[in-house]
Chains A and B, each alone.
Chain A
């Protein structure tokens, strides 16, 4: 009997969620504007399920595809991630580089979404990141490469879809050393699932590193109205380098 009640409650919850109608702007698109931040820091630590370990609290996987929640590394690549994990001084973010997509969407810092007719802009506090995402159908830049790549967006109903190319292949996915490599492309999907919840999904395709695409899903939570983005100069107080082991030491099996 208890089970039936629980199932009924769950069904009501699912129905309520799917019935949510987001607020819309005059242009007809949902209003994603505001300050957001990952609802959990688990993905920033490790996108896969992880037990508590040295410097890292336990957390669930944010990988919703493939089933099982594991990154579909090609042979040898998981060993490279494990080697990164033992040499976290290599983490580009620790050296004040940009997070890269998709990691930039779930750091332990807030981000702000701004919309106008031809652009969606994502300002990230960390590293003063600026993602200007045109929605006017313009082509990708040619021969472009950067940490956050080149983004082009379009709307599919109430869902905002962003294709990202031109990633430099140097980015990590988390602090645990999971990584993407050269040639990675990402398709991101945003949708409001509740007034204060922006669901973020990213499907990463990177045949040089993974046997198949994988998808992460991280809910972003709206921050209170008094939260504003603050300056984040990453150089001035960065005084760790002198205490770290040599960074970027040669990695066995690393891509050239």
Chain B
């Protein structure tokens, strides 16, 4: 129910390149490397200038890899109904994101599929005008 307060917009306008309000997306992330991360939330840091989702993802070979996934600012998320309790350790979620250019397990989220199945904005799209 904690996610019931989320009034979020999914990819209804068509998925767009992520834009961080704080820094240029292009400085760090690669739009040629989209990645879908399906895993378990380890931690959700709800803060500025970016919130971060730490996610354990199981690779096909069975190994578990921890990803750091950047979203928009807490302020942008908050204005869309996100709260610090919106994600909790143990939640199973799926994130559509773009990998960092440096090849690390870091990515910039565009949408997050919540445990109840809703796909919501990570507040890092170019439509971030709230």
Does any Cβ of A come within 8 Å of B7's Cβ?
A: no
Whether B129 contacts A41 by the Cβ 8 Å rule is yes
Contacts of A159 in B (CB 8 A): none
- Residue interface mask A92-103, B partner, CB < 8 A = 1: 011010000000
Does any Cβ of B come within 8 Å of A219's Cβ?
A: no
Whether A234 contacts B49 by the Cβ 8 Å rule is yes
Does any Cβ of B come within 8 Å of A80's Cβ?
A: no
Which one of A141-149, A160-168, A191-199, A236-244 is at the interface?
A: A236-244
> Which residues of A in the span 37-67 have a Cβ within 8 Å of any Cβ on B?
37, 41, 44-45, 54-57
* A125: contacting residue among B24, B25, B75, B100, CB under 8 A: B75
Whether B128 contacts A41 by the Cβ 8 Å rule is yes
**A237–B43 alpha-carbon span in the complex (Å):** 13
Q: How many B residues face the partner with a CB closer than 8 A?
A: 37
B46 to A, closest residue via Cβ: A237
Whether A237 contacts B47 by the Cβ 8 Å rule is yes
Whether B50 contacts A55 by the Cβ 8 Å rule is no
Does any Cβ of B come within 8 Å of A12's Cβ?
A: no
Which one of A19-27, A182-190, A208-216, A225-233 is at the interface?
A: A225-233
**A237–B21 alpha-carbon span in the complex (Å):** 13
Contacts of A55 in B (CB 8 A): 17-19, 24-26, 29, 31
Contacts of A126 in B (CB 8 A): 21
Does any Cβ of B come within 8 Å of A88's Cβ?
A: yes
CB distance from B70 to the nearest CB of A (A): 7
Whether A243 contacts B28 by the Cβ 8 Å rule is yes
**A96–B48 alpha-carbon span in the complex (Å):** 11
Contacts of B104 in A (CB 8 A): 243
Contacts of A231 in B (CB 8 A): 48, 75
CB distance from B104 to the nearest CB of A (A): 6
Whether A94 contacts B23 by the Cβ 8 Å rule is yes
Contacts of A205 in B (CB 8 A): none
Contacts of B106 in A (CB 8 A): 243
**A41–B72 alpha-carbon span in the complex (Å):** 15
**A231–B46 alpha-carbon span in the complex (Å):** 12
* B48: contacting residue among A54, A234, A243, CB under 8 A: A234
A52 to B, closest residue via Cβ: B17
Contacts of A96 in B (CB 8 A): 49
CB distance from A103 to the nearest CB of B (A): 13
**A230–B75 alpha-carbon span in the complex (Å):** 7
Whether B129 contacts A108 by the Cβ 8 Å rule is yes
Give me 6 other A-B pairs in contact (C-beta within 8 A), A56-B17, A237-B74 excluded.
A55-B31, A88-B24, A109-B75, A238-B50, A240-B23, A243-B28
Residues of chain B touching chain A, judged by Cβ–Cβ distance below 8 Å, are 16-19, 21-29, 31, 45, 47-52, 68, 70, 73-75, 78-79, 100-102, 104, 106, 126, 128-130
A-B contact pairs, 10 of them (CB 8 A): A41-B129, A55-B29, A89-B28, A94-B22, A227-B130, A233-B48, A236-B47, A239-B50, A239-B52, A243-B106
